[in-house]
Amino acid sequence: MNKEEKRALIGFLGIYTLSAFVLISIIAFLYYNRGIVSISDKCSIQMRNASLMAEKELMQAEMNKQIYKFTPPKNGRLRLGLFDKNGKVLYSNLKDNKIFFANKAYKNNRHEYHVHKLDTPILGVSYIVAENDGSKSEKIKLITIILTTMFASVVFILFVGYLLSKVLLKPIRDRIKKLNRFIRDSSHELNTPVSALIMSTSSIKNSKELNPRVLNHISVSAKLISQIYNTLSFVAFNDIDDRYDEKFDLKELIEESVRFFDEIVKSRGNTIECSLQNTPVFLDKTRIQKVINNLLSNALKYSFQKSKIEVILKEYTLCIINEGEGINEDDQKAIFKRFERRSKSEGGFGIGLDIVQSVCNEYNIKIEVESIPNKKTTFFLIFPKA
């Protein structure tokens, strides 16, 4: 992973985690407030119940004319205090007997209190006070649960964010790899004809007579550079180039392309055999010529040495047949993707067939491929009738 990818990954994880943390914090705050209210209500209910239970026991003792026996609550967090009308302690296990009888409920730093004033004194008891220290421990427990959940959530979000970033960066990384390979291949493709031109011009300078073979090398190299330029310019400027449809004979256009490749074909020892019918079409001549040139270039590139290439145009169907290594069935769809190359041993950019399919889609030209491995490959173009 390079520096730019690391920076993008850290930035994505930072923003993703921070936004998720803010959302989790808001949810945790709301949950905490709700939990505090719930704990407070629970404590109040426990203290009220304890007070009512003590009042009931007092009433039973008075009715049965028995001696009242003070029984502390079984809940260890609860304590009771029974006071007379003057606030004097009669029975108590409270930790703090200094009570504010004017308040029905209050709390200090350590405990919460519930003051229950009897309507009429019972056995001298006018006030029943309940003390609870369980609220603090419940709050600590609530905070611990919230913090643990938040920590686990942040760790999970970081993990998911990392996986998401890897998934999102993968197509970008693949695209960058293809572009880097494209730049390498472009340099390699241009190097061959440019080197041939330099050598040929040097040969002409050092020779008093023009050698036809040298001139042929110059012509072939110039045509190769022209073909490379046309391919690259179509990819770069196709979106802004104007489209000009006109009526023309497809046969004449194919013959022009065959003549263009004639010297290149001969330099490889191959031959092109044509069987063409007059076929009037209404299309953009420049775009269609790029399609034909790319198919012829591919047919030549992947042909066996000294083999023939057949070009047949009949009933609006163009067939270009070459004898070569062929195309596997699994690769027959992939070859039309940009920057995809079927063979790594041959030159090319992996954009020729992408251009072919792009133009064919634009004009509703049906394209098909048939291939027999290590024997021959046929490209079919079925043109719409003018």
Q: What's residue 350's pLDDT?
A: 60
* Domain shared by 247 and 378, yes or no: yes
Question: Which residues are bridge partners to 275 per DSSP?
Answer: 312
pLDDT the model gives residue 302: 85
135 & 7 share domain: yes
- pLDDT tens for residues 181-204? 666 655 655 655 666 566 666 666
Is the distance from CB of 193 to CB of 224 less than 8 angstroms?
A: yes
**How many residues in the chain?**
386
Is the residue at 184 inside a domain? no
Q: Is this model's pTM higher than 0.85 or not?
A: no
| 161's tokens | 């964010």
Give which of 150, 136, 145 is closest to 39, Cα–Cα.
136
- CA 253-256-262 angle, to 5 degrees, is 145
Residue 54 falls within a domain, yes or no? yes
Residue with tokens 């197509």: 171
What is d(CA 56, CA 43) in angstroms, rounded to the nearest whole number?
20
pLDDT attached to residue 132: 86
Range of the domain at 294: 242-382
The per-residue pLDDT for range 155-164, each reduced to its tens digit, is 888 888 888 8
Domain boundary among the residues 114, 139, 164 is at 139
> Amino acid identity, residue 10?
I
The predicted structure's pLDDT at residue 191: 58
Whole-angstrom CA distances from 169 to 4, 283, 292, 374 are 11, 40, 37, 38
Q: Give the per-residue pLDDT at 73.
A: 84
Q: Which two tokens mark 108?
A: 């200090």
Residue 338 lies in a domain: yes
Residues 246, 126, single domain; the answer is no
Give the number of domains in the chain. Answer: 2
Q: Using an 8 Å Cβ cutoff, are 264 and 258 in contact?
A: no
CATH number at residue 276: 3.30.565.10
Residue 235: its pLDDT value, please? 60
CA distance 239 to 355: 12
* Residues 128 and 256 placed together within one structural domain of the fold: no
In a domain, 160, yes or no: no
Amino acid at position 52, single letter: L
Per-residue pLDDT 10s for the chain (386 aa) are 667 767 777 787 788 888 888 898 899 899 988 888 888 888 888 889 989 989 999 999 889 888 888 888 887 788 899 999 888 999 988 888 888 888 888 888 778 889 999 988 998 999 999 988 766 777 888 889 989 998 998 888 888 888 887 787 777 777 777 666 666 655 655 655 666 566 666 666 666 666 666 666 566 667 667 766 666 666 665 554 567 889 999 999 999 888 888 877 887 888 999 999 999 999 988 889 888 888 888 888 888 888 999 999 999 999 999 998 888 777 767 777 765 655 555 545 566 788 888 889 888 999 998 888 888 899 999 998 86
On whether residue 158 sits in a domain, the answer given is no
Domain end residue (candidates: 139, 161, 192): 139
Assigned token pair, 135: 């609220």
188 occurs within a structural domain: no
Q: Which of 139, 156, 182 is the last residue of a domain?
A: 139
pLDDT value, residue 225: 72
Based on the domain organization, do 135 and 246 belong to the same domain?
no
Q: What pLDDT, in 10s, does the model give residues 264-319? A: 788 788 899 999 999 999 998 888 988 888 888 888 888 888 899 999 999 999 99
